[in-house]
Amino acid sequence: MFDRIAALGKTVLDTVAGAGAALIMLVRALIGRPNLRKSWPLLMQQMYSLGVLSLLIIIISGLFIGMVLGLQGYTILVDFGAEQSLGQMVALSLLRELGPVVTALLFAGRAGSALTAEIGLMKATEQLSSLEMMAVDPLRRVVSPRFWAGFYSMPILATIFSAVGIYGGYLVGVQWLGVDDGAFWSVMQSSVEWQEDILNGLIKSIVFAFVVTWIALYKGYNCTPTSVGISRATTSTVVTASLAVLGLDFVLTALMFG
């Protein structure tokens, strides 16, 4: 009985300590005067590997999800004779929920795991230690540009995802199933609001970007530097980040639309 309570206490303490360590890592990585001459190329490099290289999977997934939404939405709405509202359904689902959430999940799987593995491997091969011994702070040199790159990339990716998804819904709804072209867009336009939908979706994806990138970096920076440790950290990144995204999505939705 007491063992159980002690185990629970230990779990709580470990969780709190982990969160604290993650916070300290982030603060150390981000605070301090940036040196633009050095950090700009690093940021570009990371924007490339996190943002540009995630583009293909985002575009393809966005297109397919939009197409599925178009198809499903049509079969439901046509029963009520309301298939002209398809544009509204597709656009609102994508902008409010699917765009930010699916992008964050894909980003965690594609870029987050890569971040964790890369930093874990740098740790295992003593590259991080060697940076420290060369009097270069690995938090500033390695962690910080990756964090900002993830933070900037994901909202851009989410925006592209939503735009491509709406186009996918348009392809299926209008081009294939014959919903009226004008009605599709006009119903969408009369229901989608800048602030309510587009801005809130953007805020969501900014929050997700922060959380996913942070988790990925912390798990990599803090992993056990062995092959087992790195593989565990990578898995843990994807699982933790996905759960965090879904949980936060509920909280944010409740705050924004509740």
| Chain residues that interact with another protein, rule: CB under 8 A | 38, 41, 44-45, 47-48, 51-52, 55, 91, 95, 125-127, 129-130, 132-137, 153, 155-157, 159-160, 162-164, 166, 185, 188-190, 192-194, 196-198
Burial state string for 209-221 with b = 16 or more CB within 10 A and e = fewer than 16: bbbbbbbbbbbbb
Least distance to another protein from the beta carbon of 247, Å? 26
Residue placing its CB nearer to another protein in the complex, 11 or 190: 190
Residue placing its CB nearer to another protein in the complex, 123 or 244: 123
Least distance to another protein from the beta carbon of 190, Å? 6
75 CB-near residues (< 8 Å, 6+ apart): none
Q: Is 33 left (phi over 0), alpha (psi -120 to 50) or beta?
A: beta
188 CB-near residues (< 8 Å, 6+ apart): 87, 88, 90, 91, 166
In the chain, DSSP assigns E strands to none
Q: 139 near 25, Cβ under 8 Å?
A: yes
Residue placing its CB nearer to another protein in the complex, 130 or 235: 130
Q: Determine whether 59 is exposed, middle or buried from the number of CB atoms within 10 Å of its CB (0-12, 13-18, 19+).
A: middle
Which residue in the block uniquely carries the two structure tokens 């940021």?
A: 43
Least distance to another protein from the beta carbon of 229, Å? 16
Distance between CA atoms of residues 258 and 248, nearest Å:
14
Residue placing its CB nearer to another protein in the complex, 115 or 188: 188
Residue placing its CB nearer to another protein in the complex, 175 or 189: 189
Residue placing its CB nearer to another protein in the complex, 129 or 251: 129
Least distance to another protein from the beta carbon of 248, Å? 22
Residue placing its CB nearer to another protein in the complex, 166 or 217: 166
DSSP state of 252: H
- Of 250, 164, 239, which Cα lies nearest the Cα of 207? 250
Side-chain-facing half-sphere of 10: CA atoms under 13 Å: 6
Least distance to another protein from the beta carbon of 243, Å? 27
Least distance to another protein from the beta carbon of 55, Å? 6
Least distance to another protein from the beta carbon of 206, Å? 13
Distance between CA atoms of residues 144 and 28, nearest Å:
9
